[in-house]
Structure 1
Amino acid sequence: MAWAGVWAAALVSVAFIAFMPQNTTATQVSFLGVHGTLPLAVAMLIAMLSGILVTLVLGTACITRLRRLANRRRRQNR
């Protein structure tokens, strides 16, 4: 299963590397009151990395909660 994740990440990375030089047009970006101009590829990279970070944080919290619940149930059944 881990290798499938590695391959998926590699394919997404290759696709994004091909995407970046084709999308260098400046784009207006506004976020939480901050306004600026970025190349579209950079804005997409920031969005992708933010999504990955949010997924990792929420996934870790969920797995931690489930492990604690499993440990509690295991202790109760002894």
Structure 2
Amino acid sequence: MSTTPGDSSPLEPDHDHDQIPPEGTHTAPATDAVAHTRAAATWTGLVIGILVLIVLLIFILQNLDSATLHLFAWDFTLPLGVTILLAAIAGAIVMALAGGIRILQIRRAAKRGLS
């Protein structure tokens, strides 16, 4: 470590940048430079969606063994990956229906409360 005032060592912090700017000047923080936009959120959602689709494709391609489904009087033979994907989609539809019914109940209750 250096003890002379003009020398700066990589081990010692440089405090020259900690000075307060003169009055009348304003510097915006770096975090406020770019605002979050709907386009950015949409783009992020699309990228995440594409990644999920790639993972699903890999899953289906790795599970191509045949599976037989029995539904009432019908019999289907599909690849195992497709079968599991269809089961997940059916579960998501049931969940969405239940959530939609609950939202309608809450809206009706809110309208009755406002009247």
Q: Normalization by structure 1: what TM-score?
A: 0.72
Aligned CA RMSD, in angstroms, stands at 2.6
For 1:10 and 1:64, the matched residues in 2 are separated by: 32
Q: In terms of mean alpha carbon deviation, does 64-73 or 10-19 score higher?
A: 10-19
For 2:47 and 2:113, the matched residues in 1 are separated by: 36
Match of 1:65 among 105, 108, 111: 105
Relative contact order: is structure 1 or structure 2 higher (C-alpha 8 Å, sep ≥ 6)?
1
The structure with the largest strand share of the pair is: 1
Letter aligned with residue 38 of structure 1? L
Distance 1:62 1:16, change over 3 A: same
Residue 17 (structure 1) aligned with residue 57 (structure 2): yes
The structure with the largest helix share of the pair is: 1
Q: Normalization by structure 2: what TM-score?
A: 0.52
Distance 1:10 1:58, change over 3 A: farther
* Equivalent residue number for residue 75 of structure 2: 35
For 1:54 and 1:8, the matched residues in 2 are separated by: 23
Greater Rg over alpha carbons, structure: 2
- Aligned residues between the structures: 74
Distance 1:32 1:15, change over 3 A: same
Distance 1:6 1:72, change over 3 A: farther
- Displacement after TM superposition at 1:13 (Å): 3.3
Structure 1 gaps, min length 5: none
Letter aligned with residue 74 of structure 1? L
